[in-house]
């Protein structure tokens, strides 16, 4: 399994995406390596980085397109 951890950083508070703290999101790098085929962390910023906006974010859509080569 390949894992991509998308981490949002709010424009006015880079320590969170509004729901998940940046430290919690970054902890994935301690859990997944060695347990999955590959692991990468990608960061998004701006209004799209807010937790509730990520599902409709053009930045996240691009990440998904790149992963699936579509």
User: What are the extents of the domains in the chain?
Assistant: 2-68
What is the pTM for the complete model shown? 0.81
Residue 66 φ then ψ, to 5°? -65, -40
CB distance 18 to 50 below 8 Å: yes
pLDDT(70) > 90: no
Region 5-34 average pLDDT: 90
Ramachandran angles phi, psi of 61, nearest 5°: -60, -40
**What is residue 25's three-state secondary structure?**
helix
Q: Which pLDDT score is estimated for 11?
A: 86
Per-residue pLDDT tens digits for 26-67: 998 898 878 899 999 999 988 889 999 999 999 999 999 999
**φ/ψ (deg, to 5) at 48:** -65, -20
Task: Report d(CA 28, CA 34) in Å as an integer.
Answer: 12
């Amino acid at each position: 399994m390949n894992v991509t951890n998308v981490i949002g950083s709010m424009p006015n508070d880079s320590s969170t995406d509004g729901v998940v703290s940046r430290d919690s999101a970054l902890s994935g790098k301690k859990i997944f390596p060695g347990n999955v085929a590959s692991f990468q962390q990608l960061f998004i910023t701006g209004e799209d980085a807010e937790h509730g906006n990520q599902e409709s974010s053009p930045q996240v859509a691009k990440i998904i397109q790149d992963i699936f080569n579509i």
